[in-house]
Structure 1
Amino acid sequence: MKHARGAVWATVFGVAGVLHFAQPKPFDGLVPEGLPGSPRFYTNASGVAELVLSAVIAGCTAVDAVQTRSAGSAELAGERRRDASGGVPPTSTAASLLQDWVAPATAGFLLAVWPGNMKMAWDWRRRPLKQRAIAFARVPLQVPMVLSAAKLGR
């Protein structure tokens, strides 16, 4: 499950990051008023953040999958991986990186862009029902997204 979660998040952030540069105008509209600088600055910055998160999540997930697989093969052969103190490490280095750094950064990023979802819901309050429903649904759906991202590497 943890590798599937990593693959999904890497894909989501990769696609979103590319869209920030390919079609920036809709993202500019999500930037709350009152922030210093232009909306495009925030669109570009969040696009870069999403591309970086995508690459790091994909890389760590792939390395963890290989480390997990080779650890499982070694155990089948009667060997056990040991850390420097002679104990068996509970997770791979990549999984530790995901759990300790990438998961909190990803959850934090999703929390940071949440006001943009709220702004979209407010701005779209007079649009047709289907568009309003999408905009309003994005606000509470951010909670399970944050919780899922916080579980990266687990």
Structure 2
Amino acid sequence: MISVASPCSWSSGSTQGPAWRLAGMLAAAGVMHFVAPTFFDRIIPPALPGSARTYTQASGAVALVIAGMLAASPSRRLGATLAAAFFIAVIPAKVQLALNWFGSDESTFAMKVAAIVQFPWQIPLVTEALKARRNASLRGWPAQR
């Protein structure tokens, strides 16, 4: 049986809070890859072979799968590990976004600042994923100490 936490486990006081927060964020991001794919298509590095849309859809699907794994206690540890790897794997898209926004006369100053600020944001995402991994039990809910 899959154990699902109560909404109060989203709080920072819960040992599973990091997993739940990442699950929510990844689920939202995954959905956005399908709702607004053009934004994501534009940040696929052009050096990659194949269609940008294929990468956008694959990335969105991966985000949704990882979100589901983080939400279900039996797969939480593996999901957290994959989340950390995923946050590292998308760095080339973050670089491409910065290149696009800095190379465009249409980009506002705020967009250019956001393009730079996003890089350090990957660090807390990775550390939160590693925290979720550490807090996840090898056998499911609750984390064994």
Pairwise TM-score range, normalised by the shorter structure = 0.7 to 0.9
Kindly tell me the number of residue pairs found equivalent between the two proteins.
118
* Contact 2:37/2:56 (<8 A) preserved: yes
* Contact 1:121/1:139 (<8 A) preserved: no
2:110 to 130, 135, 144: 130
Residue of structure 2 in register with 1:17 after alignment: 30
CA RMSD of aligned residues (A): 1.3
Q: State which structure, 1 or 2, has the greater radius of gyration over its C-alpha atoms.
A: 1
Residue of structure 2 in register with 1:151 after alignment: 131
Deviation at 1:26, TM superposition (A): 0.1
Identity of aligned residues (%): 32
* Contact 1:17/1:50 (<8 A) preserved: yes
* Contact 2:23/2:71 (<8 A) preserved: yes
Deviation at 1:135, TM superposition (A): 1.2
Deviation at 1:14, TM superposition (A): 0.6
**Matching of residue 59 in structure 1 with residue 89 in structure 2:** no
Residue of structure 2 in register with 1:108 after alignment: 85
Structure 2 matches for 1:32-47, cutoff 5 A?
Answer: 32-47=45-60
Show CA shifts across 1:71-109 (max 9, x none).
Answer: xxxxxxxxxxxxxxxxxxxxxxx3xx533x222211111
The TM-score with structure 1 as length reference comes to: 0.72
Residue of structure 1 in register with 2:63 after alignment: 50
Letter of the structure 1 residue corresponding to residue 68 of structure 2? A
* Contact 2:19/2:70 (<8 A) preserved: yes
SS of residue matched to 1:124? helix
Residue of structure 2 in register with 1:117 after alignment: 94
**Matching of residue 5 in structure 1 with residue 18 in structure 2:** yes
Gaps of 5+ in 2: 1-13, 136-145
* Contact 1:103/1:149 (<8 A) preserved: yes
Gaps of 5+ in 1: 61-93
